[in-house]
Amino acid sequence: MKIEIFENKIEIPNGLDATVENGILTIKGSRGEIKRAFRAPNVILEKRENYVILYSKKATRKEKRMIRTFGAHIKNMINGMKTGFIYELKICSSHFPMKVVLEDDKVIISNFFGERTPRVAQVLDGVNVKIDSDMIIVEGVDIEKTGQTAANIERATRITNRDRRVFMDGIWIVSKPIREN
């Protein structure tokens, strides 16, 4: 059943500036800026006063789902500009001492299980990585890039053909940002 007009209003807090141009939402703040395209058939994105409004005329279930999904992405963008997102990873090595180094936009993991060739994890643009003894801290304003960078680092130490209960060496995500509803 179609609803005449279905809309979702998201308030832009003080200190942040939002602009909408050709379906691309840009949010600027003290931490920088985030851009993201929100394009879907029959879903309209507008900025009125201090609100970002997503709406659709004659919305079906598909349009309602897209509006709610876009709303969640916009809230993540706002939370990232207000507080940022932090992932913490722990370096665990019991069999061979690992050496983890940050070079440009790569994390290089040497001597993992005594391997001669180092493993490499990609750091995405706009994400800061700090290595502090046995902890790696990944920070950023974009939750998707920050989470993907943390996953890249964790995935670089993936092992096969060994018992995971015995060989627990690797880099593991121990803390993620808290989700807000």
Structural domain spans, the chain: 3-82, 85-175
Task: Give domain 3-82's CATH superfamily.
Answer: Ribosomal protein L6 (3.90.930.12)
CATH code at 85-175? 3.90.930.12
Strand (E) positions, 13-156?
Answer: 17-21, 24-29, 32-37, 44-48, 51-59, 85-92, 99-103, 106-110, 119-122, 127-132, 135-140
Q: CA 60, CA 63: separation in Å to the nearest integer?
A: 5
Name the band, by pLDDT with cuts 50, 70 and 90, for residue 181.
low
- Torsion (CA) 67, 82, 143, 153 in degrees, nearest 10: 180
Residue 123's closest CA among 104, 109, 142, 141?
104
Identify the weakest region by mean pLDDT among 13-22, 47-56, 105-114, 156-165.
156-165
The reported pLDDT for the residue numbered 168 is 83
Taking the whole predicted model, whether its pTM rises above 0.85 is answered as yes
Contact 9, 53 (CB under 8 A): yes
Asked whether the domain spanning 85-175 has the same topology as the one spanning 3-82, the reply is: yes
User: Per-residue pLDDT tens for 88-126?
Assistant: 999 998 878 999 999 989 999 999 988 899 999 999 999
